[in-house]
Structure 1
C-alpha cells in the first residue's frame, strides 16, 4: 500500500505533522527558536529582546578580545616605542602595559645588549704612507626613539662614521705612531670623534668600547716596510753599541792620559 493511500485509519504522509494538521508553519519554527535562544541570552522571549541579547554577547566578546590584544609586557632590559597612527606617541619602560590594538603599534628594543661591529679600513697617514687597520666597535642602543625614527639606517651610519673618524685621526698621525706605541691614543681619539658623529646624526647609539686590533702596511708593500724597519733597528743598535763603547773607552783613555802625566811629572 502506498504511503499516500487511505487505509488503516492512519495518514502516513511524511509531510504532515504527527497530529495530522499538515505542514508546520516555518514562521512558527523560527519564532520558537528565537524565543528559546533569546531566553538563554537574557531576553524576555520576544524577537527584539532575543536579538539584542545575542548582539550584546557578540559585542562583549569582540571587546574582550580587543582589550586582551592590547596588553603587552616590556622586559627589564627593554624599551617599547609606541607609535599612534604611525607617529611617535611615547616610550614605555619595563612592566605590563596596554595600548589600543589597531591604533597603536609597539616596537621593542633591547637597551642593554652590547653589539660588536668589526671594521677593516685602509688609511693614508700624515706622512703619506698607507696602513691597513682592523678595529672592533662595541655599541648599545640608548635612545630607542632616535634609533627607530630619527635615523633611516643607524647601523650603516655607525659604520660610515667609524671610517670617517678613523680617516681624520690617522690622517693627522705619522705611520710610526699608528703602528707602534701611539695606537692606544689613536683609539681614544677615534672613539671620542665617533661618538660626536653619532650624537649629531641622532642614531640613538652609544659607543661602549673601541679597540684597534691590528695596524700594518698593505701586503704588497709589507716586505719593503719590514726592510725599512729592520734598517732603523740596525741603525739604532749600532748607535747604542757606539755609545756604549765610547762610554767605556773614554774613561780608560782619560785614566791612561792622567797616569802618563803623573809619570812625566815624577821625572
Structure 2
C-alpha cells in the first residue's frame, strides 16, 4: 500500500509538471483541447490538461522581414528588379494562427501585388526617381488589408529599384552622351566668349588708337594754326624796308646758284623777299610752339 501511494503521488506530480506551461513576455498562448481552439492566455504560467490540451505560443513582438528581389514591368515595358524590407507585428494571435496556413507569406504576396500595381502605372524614369513616393503609396495601399491575417505592417520600405542589365547599359550610354554634349556646349560657349572678348579688346584698341591719332592731328593743327597766326602777325608788322632787303638777298642767293636766269614781272620783284622772310618767321614760330 505504501508503494502504491508513493507511485500515485509521483504520478500526480508528473501530471502536474506536464500540465504547467509558461507563456513568455510579449507573447500570447493559444490553448487547444483535443485539437480544437478553446481559449487565449496571456504571458505567464498556465495550467493544461496533460495529453488533452496543447499550448501554441505566438509572439507579439515587432518582427523584421526582408522580401527577396523580384522583377516588375513598368508602364513603358521596362524590367526592373526590386527588394523590400518591412516591420510587422501580430495584432490578433487567433487570426494569425488559424485563419491562414502561412499568414506571413500571404502578407508578402499582398505587398508584392500592390507594389507591382504601383510601379506598373509608372514609367521607368519616374519609378527610379520616386522611391519615397512609392513607399508612401504602398503603405496607404496595404493599410488595414493585412488585418485579415492578424498582422499590422508598421513600416515598409523599397530598398532598391534596379533596371535590367540591358537597360542599365543603354542608360549609361545615354548618360555618357549627355555629359559629352554638355562638355561640348561648354567648350563652344567658352570659345565664343573668348572670341567675343578678343574682338572687343581689338575694337577697344582700334578705338583708342584712332582717338590718339585724332588727338595728335588736332594738336598738330592747333600748332600749325598758332604758327600761321604768328607768321601773319609778324608779316603785318614788318616794314617795307625789310621786304626790300630780303629781295636783295634773294637775288644774291639766286645769282650764286647754277640757274641764275630768272624772268619776273616788274610788279613781282618786290614780293620776292617775302618768301625767305616768311620762312624765317615760320622757323621762329616753330621753336615757340606752345605745348599741347
- Name the TM-score class by shorter chain: 0.5 to 0.7
Q: Deviations over 1:17-61 (max 9, x none)?
A: xxxxxxxxxxxxxxxxxxxxx4xx3xxxxxxxxxxxx55553343
* Match in the other structure for 2:131: 183
Give the TM-score normalised by the residue count of structure 2.
0.57
What runs of 5+ residues in structure 1 fail to find an aligned partner?
Answer: 1-37, 42-53, 246-267
Which secondary structure state, in structure 1, belongs to the residue aligned with residue 61 of structure 2?
Answer: coil
* Number of corresponding residues: 189
* Higher alpha-carbon Rg: 2
RMSD: 2.9
Kindly report which structure 2 residues correspond to 1:127-206, keeping only aligned pairs within 5 A, or say none. 127-180=76-129, 182-199=130-147, 202-206=148-152
Give the TM-score normalised by the residue count of structure 1.
0.61
**Shift in CA distance, 235/174, structure 1 to aligned 2, threshold 3 Å:** farther
Q: Deviations over 1:97-149 (max 9, x none)?
A: 11211111001122114222233121112233222212212222222212221
Contact 1:217/1:225, CA 8 A, preserved across alignment: no
| Residues in 2 aligned to 1:234 and 1:223: alpha-carbon distance in whole angstroms | 16
* Match in the other structure for 1:208: 154
**Shift in CA distance, 143/211, structure 1 to aligned 2, threshold 3 Å:** same
* Match in the other structure for 1:105: 54
* Match in the other structure for 1:217: 163
| Residues in 1 aligned to 2:71 and 2:177: alpha-carbon distance in whole angstroms | 25
Kindly indicate which of the two structures has a greater share of residues assigned to helix: 2
Contact 2:32/2:53, CA 8 A, preserved across alignment: yes
| CA displacement at 1:89 relative to structure 2 | 1.1
The structure 2 residue matched to 1:81, chosen from 22, 30, 34, is: 30
* Match in the other structure for 1:33: none
